[in-house]
């Protein structure tokens, strides 16, 4: 009876099986490998104050065939220093597992398997929080997708029914201020694709109804991701494009060839590299695998992680800093904090300053009005409170960064401000 059910299930689902050899992939040619050097140098030469900040970078380097023992030892040390990993969010722990477990030989035991059991618990805590807080997870759906991906790739326990219920396109957690989050949707597609492959390969059992739902969710998410494609080929914005490319690589049977010009996307990204778009290590780490034709689903395939470094002309020389010959020029920006009312001031900062520099200068002018707190994330500093008012996932509140009344596409520690700009930190809901 069980055998006939499996045969029926495979027959029903055969059309949606996505073998890796059928994926639509475009990648940088060997002749253009040198154009990737700025990304690699940014990742290798950066200083990481916390191990988790290095996880994205280590994962990316491994996928393209570059081994970096220093980064790996840094992550291993973090694991030993904090055995319980209580301070890590579920998504951070998932990323740690992906980075440490990437590209291990098939005959090796994943020595951090106990991390997977910790992730199982953190994932269930996310689910429980959603049950009592109107569907809001402890973190966000990007992290939940990372959770499912890591559990799937490293044989963790998860409920197919829970996964089916989580990733419906209509779920509010895919949207921020009414805008679909491309990188969140892309990570969900990668997670769902992994789950589907395990089902079809007989590694996970489910019923036809659940599989049909997972298949439909993937199709809907892919369609939504493609709807965010810009005329120049970017998908969402420059920072979400890498993971969107990965999602489209593994889901090519859900769209027609004329719906996405992969080469155009690739060419546009390559043009942005020398312009400094990926000067933050995490940004560089998230775009590099796609440029090399890799996806996070490849990290358990040893052959996929063994290529690249011999062909890439990598320079590990740190750039030589040149002392300025004259004092820096200054710019004037208008800075505001908006809660129920708006508090404003003019701030003078050196040319080349970032959003965070402006906030720090404003705090010096009036600490009561402009005080704020910040935490470090893999993307750099993240604003957690202003005037003592804290962002809250359960209430879906956060501090939004705006320039001339439009949301900025970079973080507070990355966005370079310009003379005469009107900057605002706004208390918002997503």
Question: Binding site annotation covers 183?
Answer: yes
Q: Is-contact 421 347, C-beta < 8 A? A: no
- Tokens representing 144 are 């939940």
Question: Binding site annotation covers 40?
Answer: no
Rounded CA Rg of the chain: 22
Question: Binding site annotation covers 400?
Answer: yes
Question: Binding site annotation covers 427?
Answer: no
Question: Binding site annotation covers 206?
Answer: no
Question: Binding site annotation covers 430?
Answer: yes
**Integer angstrom CA distances of residue 109 from 100, 104, 150, 152:** 12, 8, 16, 16
**Integer angstrom CA distances of residue 132 from 128, 334, 351, 405:** 7, 41, 47, 34
**Separation between Cα atoms, residue 105 and residue 300, nearest integer Å:** 9
Question: Binding site annotation covers 272?
Answer: no
Question: Binding site annotation covers 410?
Answer: no
H helix or E strand, kind and range, residue 331? strand 330-338
Reduced to 3 states (helix: H, G, I; strand: E, B; else coil), residue 30 is: helix
Question: Binding site annotation covers 143?
Answer: yes
Residue tagged 């090796």 (tokens): 108
The DSSP string of 368-425 is HHH-EEEEEETTEEEEEEETTEE-BTTTTEEEEEEETTEE-SS-TTTPBP-TT-EEEE
Question: Binding site annotation covers 383?
Answer: yes
Binding positions for cyanocob(III)alamin are 139-143, 183, 237, 286, 382-383, 399-401, 430
Binding positions are 139-143, 183, 237, 286, 382-383, 399-401, 430
């Amino acid at each position: 009876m069980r055998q006939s059910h499996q045969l029926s299930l495979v027959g029903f689902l055969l059309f949606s099986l996505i073998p890796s050899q059928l994926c639509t992939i475009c990648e940088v040619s060997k002749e253009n490998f040198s154009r990737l050097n700025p990304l690699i140098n940014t990742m290798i030469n950066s200083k990481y104050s916390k191990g988790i900040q290095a996880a994205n970078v280590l994962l990316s380097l491994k996928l393209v065939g570059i081994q970096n023992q220093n980064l790996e030892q840094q992550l291993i040390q973090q694991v030993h220093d904090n055995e319980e990993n209580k301070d890590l969010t579920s998504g951070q722990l998932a990323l740690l597992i992906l980075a440490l477990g990437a590209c291990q030989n098939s005959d090796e035991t994943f020595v951090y398997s106990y991390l997977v059991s910790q992730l199982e618990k953190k994932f269930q805590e996310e689910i429980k929080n959603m049950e009592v807080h109107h569907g809001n997870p402890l973190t966000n759906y990007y992290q939940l997708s990372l959770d499912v991906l890591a559990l799937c790739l490293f044989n963790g326990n998860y409920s197919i029914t829970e996964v089916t219920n989580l990733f419906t396109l209509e779920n509010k957690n895919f949207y921020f201020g009414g805008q679909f989050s491309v990188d969140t949707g892309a990570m969900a597609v990668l997670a769902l694709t992994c789950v589907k492959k395990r089902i079809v390969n007989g590694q996970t059992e489910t019923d036809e109804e659940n599989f049909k739902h997972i298949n439909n969710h993937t199709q809907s998410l892919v369609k939504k991701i493609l709807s965010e494609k810009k005329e120049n080929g970017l998908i969402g914005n420059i920072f979400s494009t890498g993971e969107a490319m990965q999602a489209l690589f593994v889901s090519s049977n859900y769209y027609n060839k004329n719906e996405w010009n992969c080469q155009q996307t690739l060419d546009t990204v390559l043009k942005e590299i020398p312009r400094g778009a990926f000067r933050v290590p995490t940004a560089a780490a998230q775009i590099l695998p796609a440029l090399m034709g890799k996806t996070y689903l490849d990290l358990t395939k040893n052959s996929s992680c063994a290529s690249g470094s011999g062909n890439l002309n990598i320079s590990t020389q740190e750039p030589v800093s040149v002392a300025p010959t004259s004092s820096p020029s200054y710019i004037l920006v208008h800075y505001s904090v908006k809660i129920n009312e708006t508090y404003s001031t003019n701030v003078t900062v050196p040319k080349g300053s970032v959003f965070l520099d402006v906030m720090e200068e404003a705090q010096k002018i009036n600490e009561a009005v402009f005080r704020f707190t910040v935490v470090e994330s893999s993307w750099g500093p993240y604003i957690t409170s202003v005037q003592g008012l804290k962002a809250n996932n359960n209430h879906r509140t956060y501090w939004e960064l705006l320039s001339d009344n439009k949301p900025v596409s970079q973080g507070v520690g990355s966005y370079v401000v310009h003379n005469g700009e009107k900057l605002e930190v706004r208390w918002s809901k997503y």
